[in-house]
Amino acid sequence: MFEYRGFMLDSVRHMQSLDEIKKLVDAIALLGFNKFHWHLTDDQGWRFECDSFPELNTVAAVRPYSDFGKTRINEPYGRVYSKDEMREVVAYCAEKGLDVIPEFDVPGHTSALLSAMPELSCEGRKVKIKTHQGIFKDVLCLANEKTFEVITAIIDEFLEIFPGEYFHIGGDEAPSHHWKHCPHCQKRMKELGVKSYAEYQNCFMNRLIDYLESKGRHCIVWNEAARGANLDKRAIIQYWKEKEKPSIDFINSGGKAILSPFSYCYLDYDYLITPLNRVYSLNSDIPGLTDEGKKNIVGVEAPIWTEYISDINRLEELLFPRIIAVSKVALAENNKSYTEFLCDVNEIRNRLSSYNFCNEKMWTKSRTSMPLGWLKFVKDHYTIDFIKEQLF
Ligand code: ACM
Ligand code: ZN
């Protein structure tokens, strides 16, 4: 059994009520999970009530409209979870045997933060909170000492609410565009003697890791951070991007990892793309990992991103039963045949009868329909304009 058995919920792109979160926590606790990773900051919103920088609770929390794929909603969306609400989630999770791991994603995925605090960007200009999906160029200026001061002050507030051992500092999808054009970042890179933007990013991540270690917390980072070979080995990488040689090297040379390969574990993908049998087939046999490396896999986690999931019924439908397969992998109870596993699913389904399992025909489809699945996904969610914008 893996010591880290996690589930991640994105409460930025769409929020969930406390009752909805608690109901999900009930299910994952019953399935043997012990970590609830709560994604609270991103380009499209800010969900953590912050006393030191109150503009985060107003400006950064609310996007003017939502344009996720084909369903544009012309209304302001979002708010922060209050400190009392977050404490309530932490207490509820603790009762059920789960630690909450908050995620404050830096230095990318920070458009919402920068919409309230543009002085932390390279150009110091107003940044727009985002209303659609994507990877955005707006990142923190890492040469500005104020960036570190503000981020650590916010982290201090997170630590008051979330007492657990782990803290997620993101590290994914941080384009270097602004760093290339920022004289301060260029100067700082020379001073640091780093050869790549990945290493430059990690000088900042490593400072945060050091800071959090000094507070008795261990950091988790998305696995792009391992692209800079200087990543502090005290951090655990969350392996979502597959076929990443630097991540494999990190793990083989003693770094710890949590498995979340997106083509198995991202439960926001349609069943046609990631059917139940695909999820159940996940294991630690990642090409390139040595036997020693495999020992450094400390956990398994299934994220659910919510750009296209605005209601809890849809979220449950995507989650159940695939989250059962993830739990079996995390508990190392995936040695049974798939047919036997399906019997278990039926039995567990009875115990989870208040959750939405309505996608039955989809579950049993094989992955041979994957290209069709992607076609359907793209057709259902993306407009031609969005695709053009991403490609060109
Ligand atoms: C991620 O999916 N950007 C971690
Ligand atoms: Zn800069």
pLDDT at 363: 82
Question: What was the pLDDT predicted at 380?
Answer: 81
Can you tell me which atom of ligand 1 is nearest the CA of 173? 3
Query: CA-CA distance, 229 to 242, in Å (whole number)?
Result: 17
Q: Which two tokens stand for residue 230?
A: 């200087």
Contact by Cβ (8 Å): 60, 115: yes
Looking at residue 392, its pLDDT comes to: 62
Rounded to 5 degrees, what are φ and ψ at 229? -65, -5
341 alpha carbon – ligand 1 mean position (Å): 29
Torsion of CA 228, 259, 92, 217, to 10 degrees: -30
- Say yes or no: domain 4-390 is CATH 3.40.50.720: no
pLDDT of residue 391: 67
Q: How far is the CA of 144 from the centre of ligand 2 (A)?
A: 7
Question: Is residue 172 lining ligand 1, measured as CB closer than 6 Å?
Answer: yes
CA 156 to chain CA mean position, Å: 20
Select which of 10, 14, 42, 224 is catalytic: 42
Nearest ligand by distance to the CA of 188: 2
**Which amino acid, one-letter code, is at 111?**
S
pLDDT (0 to 100) of residue 370:
75
Distance 61 CA to ligand 2 centre (A): 24
Does the beta carbon of 386 lie inside 6 Å of ligand 1?
no
DSSP states of 270-339: -TTTS-HHHHHT--S--TT--HHHHTTEEEEEEEE--TT--SHHHHHHHHTTHHHHHHHHHTT---S-HH
Q: Which residues of the chain have pLDDT under 50?
A: none
Q: Identify the helix (H) or strand (E) that includes residue 42.
A: strand 41-42
Ligand 1 centroid to residue 351 C-alpha, Å: 31
**Residues 174-228 pLDDT 10s:** 999 999 999 999 999 999 999 999 999 999 999 999 999 999 999 999 999 999 9
Cα 301 vs. chain centroid, distance in angstroms? 10
Domain ranges for the chain, please list them. Answer: 4-390
385 is catalytic: no
Closest protein CA for atom 1 of ligand 1: 172
Q: Give the angle 327-333-335 at the CA atoms, nearest 5°.
A: 130
Catalytic residue among 173, 232, 242, 344: 173
Q: Is 307 within 8 Å of 13 (Cβ atoms)?
A: yes
Q: Does 218 participate in catalysis according to the annotation? A: no
Q: Pick from 222, 244, 269, 307 the residue to mutate for probing ligand 1's pocket: most ligand atoms within 8 Å of its CB.
A: 222
The structure tokens listed for 143 are: 């040469």
Catalytic hit among 109, 132, 168, 178: 109
Residue 388's pLDDT is 73
Determine if ligand 1 sits within 6 Å of the CB of residue 266: no
For a ligand 1 pocket test, name from 104, 111, 173 the mutation site with the most ligand atoms within 8 angstroms of its C-beta: 173
Beta carbon of 222 within 6 Å of any ligand 1 atom: yes
Q: Report pLDDT for 390.
A: 67
- Catalytic site residue 145? no
2-38 pLDDT, tens digit per residue, is: 999 999 999 999 999 999 999 999 999 999 999 999 9
Cβ–ligand 1 distance for 240 under 6 Å, the answer yes
Q: Look up residue 366 and give its two tokens.
A: 């094989």
Using DSSP's 3-state secondary structure scheme, residue 188 falls into helix
- Cα separation values, 198 from 206, 207, 245, Å: 12, 14, 14
Q: How far apart are the first and last CA of the chain?
A: 45
* Residues around ligand 2, an ion, CB closer than 5 A: 122, 141, 143, 182, 184-185
- Ligand 1 atom closest to the Cα of residue 109 is 3
Cα of 138 from ligand 1 centre, angstroms: 16
Residue 320 burial (CB count, 10 A): 22
Supply the pTM of this predicted model. Answer: 0.96
